[in-house]
Amino acid sequence: MPHLAPVDDAAIVPVPLIFRGAEDPQRQVVDMDLAMVRTVLETAGGGSTVRWAAGMVVTGGRRQVVVTTDRGRSWFPPNVLLPENAVLPWKHEDSARWEGLLDPARVIVEYAAAAASGTLTALASTHSSAPGVAAGVPFAFADAVQRPRPDLLGVPTAGRETFAVSAARLVAADAITDPHDQRRQALWIAHDAVEKADDASSVRRSILAALNADPNLLEPKKIDRLGWVALTNENEVLWERDFAARIDVRNVDIGRLDTGGGASRPFLVQSYATETVLALRNASPRQALLDALYSWSMLLELIDTEGRRYPREPANAF
């Protein structure tokens, strides 16, 4: 799994707002936008598992913080906290054209250009530099941090599931309060994800078969008996293949990019299915459910954007 060196969390301080003076109010707004998008990245958490980008996009007079990563359609690490009103660029009808890029900041640039009357006023990234096509847009490098620091952000925040899981499914998950039922629902999700991914992993299937044969293996003292190391290694290979499939589009003009969904999707489908199974080992039944639900939702979105059709799901809370 590719990594960038994370900064020590203890070194994180609030990003200062730089004002140019009352005679330049427009510059003050730009400085505030730049400080905001940089702070969003430097307080999100998640470390260097992925590369991040955030931009301030103004549409119809409304300012929106747009956030993405370089993995899939904004895959986020488990402990991430972001402004609850942050926007992902993947709801746009043209978003499949921007998938599979090395530089997540380029996705923000494309989104701003495609949005109706969109203007990109500030851009920040944990990648080394701004995309060449964003010349003239104020840019700030941001350090990746391990722990989220919402206290430094100062706005209401939300976890990753808020940005990927439908509201109805989150409500259904919240309604499951019994730990045993939470485990059972997470296990159902893992089975469904593996089936939808046209599973080729004997490791995934062996773990699920063992849990079917003896549900007590989900107990904290027994769950380590399963083949988690082999499954983790298998997932890291998928990550490496995903990363190798991403492309550099620095020489493509804004608005002319079309990756057709990118070459990473086959690896992401398998990886998301694997991550639903890996979620089962979480010591917290509720977190196991949320992690499985997140990865399953990411998988379903990929399937939906590819226009693939599957048989009707069996009756279930989700």
pLDDT at 9 over 50: no
Domain range for 155 is 9-159
246 and 107 assigned to the same domain: no
175 and 154 assigned to the same domain: no
> What gap in Å lies between CA 58 and CA 120, rounded to an integer?
6
Tell me the CA end-to-end span of the chain in Å, nearest whole number: 31
Q: Looking at per-residue confidence, does 20 or 85 come out higher?
A: 85
Of 12-21, 187-196, 220-229, 234-243, which range is least confident?
12-21
In angstroms, the Cα distances linking 313 to 117, 214, 270 are 40, 24, 19
Average of per-residue pLDDT across 102-106: 94
Whether 3 is in a domain gets the answer: no
> What gap in Å lies between CA 266 and CA 67, rounded to an integer?
23
Residue 312 has a pLDDT of 37
> What gap in Å lies between CA 187 and CA 226, rounded to an integer?
14
Which of 159, 187, 217 represents a domain boundary (last residue)?
A: 159
122 and 192 assigned to the same domain: no
Which of 159, 181, 198 represents a domain boundary (last residue)?
A: 159
Nearest Cα neighbor of 67 from 78, 52, 80, 79 is 52
253 and 194 assigned to the same domain: yes
Helix (H, G, I), strand (E, B) or coil at 221: coil
Q: How many domains does the chain have?
A: 2
Q: What is the DSSP string of 245-310?
A: H-B--TTSPTT----TT-S-HHHHHHHHHHHHHHGGG-SSHHHHHHHHHHHHHHHHHHHHHTT---
Q: What is the radius of gyration, based on Cα positions, of the chain?
A: 20
Under the banding of pLDDT at 50, 70 and 90, the label for residue 318 is low
150 and 260 assigned to the same domain: no
| pTM assigned to the model | 0.87
